[in-house]
């Protein structure tokens, strides 16, 4: 028998979430973000699920190859652009649009001879306050734009930026506020009358005043909330990934007995413990504390003790009838992934992306 842990990806949930994002986007171009192997859901699954998107946004040429091989014929946006001059031939061959965020990329495009049937489409990235990528002064932005516009084998499709704090509880306070970044973007883009792209998931859902012609939803497509103050279900989002396993053992602890490494959980009364075939080597967060919710036979119970490599333990006090083989959900329809992430001091993004390759994945078709 194989180990009982498995992940399930629901294509219908992905399609539903894209439709919700599309309603928020209105008539704007929707780039479905599928970087990090579609947030752990699989590039090929995303291609199947996001057929109604206007384009896919991803990270590197490997993911672009996979998307094209899976049958995606619409636009693809490389969110970090290209890294070496030789990449440009592949960009042309695959018909990709590349983000240009640095002087070195402009130089590579200037030195490139251009061999594609169509000009290389680019999104010119402006640094409005995230301070990672992008041209950060009006002079640098104007210079990059002018140089790219002079190239016959390049076409600027849009100017873009990335918002640092659209998910902040009070997004208009503190450094790099949404309002501050939007104002800074327009300052950097002075003289540009073409398309723009500003909104990520949080801006799309929570800041309708953030304009632009193209939006880039990511985490919401997979059924998680883009900020910790909202519940995904309240945003009409459905979890696309479920992580399930089974009980593989039960143990009885008397008062004063501990379970797991480091004896982090000590029973204060007689208690029955269930052992679940899931650990941090499967992608479950090692630092999830006792009390993190788990569903056993559809009933929420608390985890107890330290998560180990291959197992974690739960308190079965509420389920005296639960035995070896009982169904367990670590996250999914019953246990929101955001709730597990919050308990572990992280975000749902990380848990999705951290799903281990040793976990079998079953794709449920729409």
pLDDT tens per residue across all 366 residues of the chain: 689 999 999 999 999 999 999 999 999 999 999 999 999 999 999 999 999 999 999 999 999 999 999 999 999 999 999 999 999 999 999 999 999 999 999 999 999 998 778 999 999 999 999 999 999 999 999 999 999 999 999 999 999 999 999 987 666 667 889 999 999 999 999 999 999 999 999 999 999 989 899 999 999 999 999 988 889 999 999 999 999 999 999 999 999 999 999 999 999 999 999 999 999 999 999 999 999 999 999 999 999 999 999 999 999 999 999 999 999 999 999 999 999 999 999 999 999 999 999 999 999 998
Give the active site residue among 123, 261, 265, 280: 261
Last residue in a domain, options 225, 260, 288 = 225
Are 194 and 286 part of one and the same domain?
A: no
Please give the residue range of the domain that contains residue 195: 11-225
Give the active site residue among 35, 123, 125, 280: 35
Measured between alpha carbons, how far is 58 from 32 in angstroms, rounded to an integer? 9
Q: In the 8-state DSSP scheme, what is residue 126?
A: B
The whole-number pLDDT of residue 174 equals 73
Total structural domains within the chain? 2
Are 209 and 262 part of one and the same domain?
A: no
- Percent helix, strand, coil in the chain (nearest 5)? 30, 25, 45
The whole-number pLDDT of residue 204 equals 96
Measured between alpha carbons, how far is 362 from 208 in angstroms, rounded to an integer? 36
Last residue in a domain, options 225, 256, 271 = 225
Residue 329 in 3-state DSSP? Answer: strand
Q: How far is C-alpha 150 from the geometric centre of its chain's CA atoms?
A: 36
Beta bridge partners of 99: 123
The whole-number pLDDT of residue 169 equals 60
Cβ neighbours for 357, distance < 8 A, ≥ 6 positions apart: none
Are 172 and 255 part of one and the same domain?
A: no
Are 253 and 204 part of one and the same domain?
A: no
Are 82 and 58 part of one and the same domain?
A: yes
Are 90 and 28 part of one and the same domain?
A: yes
Are 54 and 80 part of one and the same domain?
A: yes
Last residue in a domain, options 225, 260, 294 = 225
Q: What's the Cα-to-Cα distance from 366 to each of 21, 71, 228, rounded to whole Å?
A: 18, 18, 29
The whole-number pLDDT of residue 211 equals 87
Are 302 and 178 part of one and the same domain?
A: no
Are 258 and 351 part of one and the same domain?
A: yes
Across 232-243, b (16+ Cβ under 10 Å) vs e yields beebebbbbbbb
The whole-number pLDDT of residue 171 equals 60
User: Is residue 284 annotated as a catalytic residue, yes or no?
Assistant: no
User: Is residue 261 annotated as a catalytic residue, yes or no?
Assistant: yes
Q: In the 8-state DSSP scheme, what is residue 75?
A: -
Alpha-carbon torsion (354, 63, 222, 21), positive or negative: positive
The whole-number pLDDT of residue 172 equals 67
**Is pTM, for the whole model, over 0.75?**
yes
Cβ neighbours for 276, distance < 8 A, ≥ 6 positions apart: 245, 246, 247, 248, 294, 311, 312, 313, 314, 328, 330
The whole-number pLDDT of residue 170 equals 67
């Amino acid at each position: 028998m194989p180990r009982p842990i498995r992940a399930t990806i629901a294509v219908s949930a992905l399609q539903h979430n894209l439709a919700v994002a599309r309603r928020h986007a209105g008539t704007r171009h929707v780039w479905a973000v599928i970087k990090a192997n579609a947030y752990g859901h699989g590039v090929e699954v995303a291609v199947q699920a996001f057929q109604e998107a206007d384009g896919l946004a991803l990270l590197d040429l490997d993911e672009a190859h996979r998307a094209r091989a899976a049958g995606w014929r619409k636009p693809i946006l490389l969110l970090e652009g290209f890294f070496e001059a030789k990449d440009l031939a592949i960009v042309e061959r695959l018909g990709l649009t590349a983000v240009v965020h640095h002087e070195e990329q402009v130089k590579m495009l200037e030195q490139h001879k251009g061999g594609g049937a169509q000009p290389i489409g680019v999104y010119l990235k402006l640094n409005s306050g995230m301070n990672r990528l992008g041209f950060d002064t009006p002079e640098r932005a104007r210079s990059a734009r002018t140089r790219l516009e002079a190239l016959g084998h390049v076409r600027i499709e849009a100017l873009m930026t990335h918002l640092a704090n659209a998910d902040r509880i009070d997004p208009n306070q503190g450094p790099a506020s949404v309002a501050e970044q939007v104002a800074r973007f327009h300052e950097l883009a002075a003289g540009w009358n073409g398309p723009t792209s500003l909104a990520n998931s949080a801006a799309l859902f929570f800041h309708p005043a953030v304009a632009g012609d193209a939006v880039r939803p990511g985490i919401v497509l997979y059924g998680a909330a883009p900020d910790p103050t909202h519940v995904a279900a309240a945003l009409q989002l459905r979890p696309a990934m479920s992580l399930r396993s089974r009980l593989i053992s039960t143990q009885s602890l008397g008062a004063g007995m501990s379970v797991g490494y480091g004896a982090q959980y000590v029973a204060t009364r007689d208690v029955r413990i269930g052992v679940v075939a899931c650990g941090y080597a499967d992608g479950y967060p090692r630092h999830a504390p006792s009390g993190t919710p788990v569903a056993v036979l559809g009933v929420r119970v608390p985890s107890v003790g330290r998560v180990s490599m291959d197992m974690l333990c739960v308190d079965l006090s509420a389920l005296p009838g639960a035995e070896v083989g009982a169904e367990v959900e670590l996250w999914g329809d019953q246990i929101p992934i955001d709730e597990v992430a919050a308990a572990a001091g992280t975000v749902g993004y990380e848990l999705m992306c951290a799903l281990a390759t040793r976990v079998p994945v079953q794709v449920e078709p729409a």
